[in-house]
Amino acid sequence: MSDIEIRRATADDIPAIVALLADDELGALRETPDDLTPYRTAFDRLAKDPNQYVAVAVREGQVIGTLQLTIIPGLSRRGATRSIIEGVRIHADARGSGLGTELIEWAIATSRTEGCRLVQLTSDAVRVDAHRFYERLGFEASHLGFKYQL
Instruction: Give the footprint of its own copies on this chain (CB under 8 A).
Output: 14, 17-18, 21, 27, 30-32, 38-43, 45-46, 49, 51-52, 54, 68, 70, 72-81, 84, 86-87, 108, 111-112, 116-125, 131, 134-135, 137-150
H/E stretch holding 63: strand 62-72
For 31, residues 6+ apart whose C-beta sits below 8 A from its C-beta are: 18, 21, 22
For 104, residues 6+ apart whose C-beta sits below 8 A from its C-beta are: 67, 85, 88, 134, 137
User: Is-contact 30 124, C-beta < 8 A?
Assistant: no
CB 4, min distance to its own copies, A: 21
Q: Which is nearer to its own copies, 4 or 66 (CB)?
A: 66
CA distance 37 to 48: 17
Q: Which is nearer to its own copies, 60 or 111 (CB)?
A: 111
CB 3, min distance to its own copies, A: 25
Q: Which is nearer to its own copies, 21 or 57 (CB)?
A: 21
